[in-house]
Amino acid sequence: MIDSSPIDLNDLAGQRILVAGDFMLDEYIWGQVERISPEAPVLVVNVQRETRVLGGAGNVVNNLVGLGAQVTVLGLVGQDNAGAILRDELQRLGIEATGLVVDARRQTTRKTRVIGGNQQIVRIDRENRQPAPVDFQQTAQQRLAELLPDLDGVILSDYGKGVLTDTVLAALINAARDRGLPVVVDPKGRDFTRYRRATIITPNRKEASEAVGYPLASREEVIKAGRDLCAACETEAILITLGAEGMALIPRHGPPEAIPAQAREVFDVSGAGDTVVAVLALGLARWHDVHRAARLANLAAGIVVGKVGTAPILRGELAAALETETAARPVKTITLPELLLLVPRLRAQGKRLVFTNGCFDLLHWGHIKFLEESKRLGDVLIVALDSDDSVRRVKGPCRPVISAHQRAAMLAALEAVDYVTVFASEQLADLLQTLQPDILTKGSNYPAADVKGRDVVASYGGQVVIIPITDPVSITGLIRQICQNGD
């Protein structure tokens, strides 16, 4: 019987998931193309900036963190700068990076995309595909033995880079399944029997077709492929993603389920598979119900394909979608941890980030004009809103007049504002140093020398822009006037 009771995302928070597989560094080199090289008929890119984000299994980690999971990792990197960056990025997310084992004989998988203007010109891959050495296989088994007592589930993210050898796969799957833990596999290659005994395998249509050796043009063929793979792999279920047609869940025992696609608009399917396995693993770890977990994973996938570029699912987005049972548009009001996940992805899309902060109590036309001018300076405007306690400390016990929740909702309703987060004002310097926005804006009613965070922005090469305020409005004066009129 399929559980149709309401889903509470609080059930998923705190689930302890191991992500094992191929961790990569995605690099983006941004520049302008102004001429052809005199040396050869190729474009010359004048580099302006570079961005780096977690790729491969690292994007699965991003999705899990976005939903409040506790994540541990197991992977293999080289003794190089790319490996160091991967470990730093994991630590920035609050994840212990010792699970990325360093092998001096290997180079970290790195994909570098060169973009001139808005056009990707070339992708440069640096990688090893040789099977992981025997000592790593021994290390993996030892680490798993240490982690297993505290785990709720395992994800195997296989990109075919040699980390998940047959020996490592068998050790991870058998140890986890013997303890009753769900194992979710994002597969690679034609031989799915390598994942024997996994709880569920999640190929797309093309991958499933290659694994069974016949086309999956009809629903009947999709179901047959799922049944054949379940039998060959001794797995509980196969979840085949079908793009615009949604998903097909084929359990080893019981009827198949067709899960319709939830996306309103599809902009980019990259990274959707990472979202599916992340949400699926969390659902299985909590509910042990493959149908329920698959429906939630489908809803999450419908959200991320509506974004441009690879982006993780955020808890607020999934909660909003659950309320309407459709893939709601991305929400604007997000938490600080979600913002820390989001900003690297925005940078990887080449976005110019504008940041401003303030109380925004009793929102008025001056605020709106200021925010519109701020947005014109870049691509994405992030507003950090002072918490109620912060406002009271600065403005006195009678402020704010409007709560942070209501102030955030009003700001998010403005077209100029892309994201709103609530923070404590004393966090400003650390927040700026972590996010490193391209531009920090403030109104001209603040002297330039007194702009908090100015030194931090200057330290990493950012820019502070003072927006002219021609007719300043005093909130304190407005409140006084309201009180006088009331009397």
Cα 71 from chain centroid? 14
Rounded CA-CA distance 468/447 in Å is: 11
C-alpha 238/C-alpha 250 separation (Å) is 5
Cβ-contact 199, 182 below 8 angstroms: yes
Catalytic residue (choose from 274, 361, 418, 438): 274
* DSSP result, 340-363: HHHHHHHHHTTPPEEEEEE---S-
* Angle between the N-to-C axes of helices 81-92 and 57-66, in degrees from 0 to 180, rounded to the nearest 10: 10
Integer Cα distance of 420 and 338 in angstroms: 11
Q: Are 95 and 61 in contact (CB under 8 A)?
A: yes
Alpha carbon 471 to chain centroid distance? 41
Helix and strand counts by DSSP (H, E) for the chain:
16, 18
Nearest-CA neighbor of 354 among 456, 464, 448? 464
Residues near 155 by beta carbon (within 8 Å), at least 6 away in sequence: 17, 18, 19, 20, 21, 57, 60, 183, 184, 185, 186, 277, 278, 281
3-state secondary structure 190-236: CCHHHHCCCCEECCEHHHHHHHHCCCCCCHHHHHHHHHHHHHHHCCC
389 among known catalytic residues: no
Q: What H or E segment, with its residue span, contains residue 373? A: helix 365-375
Query: Which residues are annotated as catalytic?
Result: 274
